Amino acid sequence: MQIGLASDHGGFDLKEELKAYLKSMGHDPVDLGTFNEDSVDYPDYGALVAERVSKGDLERGVLICGTGIGMSVVANKFRGVRAALVNDLFSARFSREHTDSNILVMGGRIVGRALAREILRVWLETPFAGDRHQRRLEKIKALEKKNFK
């Protein structure tokens, strides 16, 4: 699976941890930055992943900033992106089962490394449930069509 990663300076350490974890799971993550802890603007990096997910160049993405809030806002500005801010296992599972989230967002200053790895594993392994949830996704797509002209 093609998975893109990006962070700002507040999420850099956790991004590096999750990149190594993805490699250990057999994935070949695409690191779109940032590449150090120097201060950067999270919209620049969130957009890099979200745009590629939106276009279908990446199947999924992982974004990390200090709280995850900024990256979530940025990513959800792109058509077809369903970015979920997840800081616990329950939300990781349900963000996939119910909303078929394609970008996982975490707060690098909120989620510890061990929990972040487990959240990522659950998020990657949980399939979309479809059925009534597909009907709801169709409504989201209709809103995108109406609002993203």
Q: Are strands 30-31 and 3-7 parallel, antiparallel or unpaired?
A: parallel
Classify each residue of 7-16 as buried b or exposed e, where b means 16 or more C-beta atoms within 10 Å of its C-beta. bbbbbbebbe
Three-class DSSP category at 3: strand
Quote the distance between the C-alpha of residue 18 and its chain's center. 12
How much is the pLDDT for 64?
A: 98
Ordered domains of the chain (ranges, CATH): 3-147 (3.40.1400.10)
How much is the pLDDT for 61?
A: 98
Residues that are catalytic: 65, 98
CB 43 within 8 A of CB 77: no
Residue-wise pLDDT tens for the chain (149 aa)? 899 999 999 999 999 999 999 999 999 999 999 999 999 999 999 999 999 999 999 999 999 999 999 999 999 999 999 999 999 999 999 999 999 999 999 999 999 999 999 999 999 999 998 888 889 988 888 888 888 76
CA dihedral 11, 1, 30, 14 (to 10 degrees): 20
How much is the pLDDT for 76?
A: 96
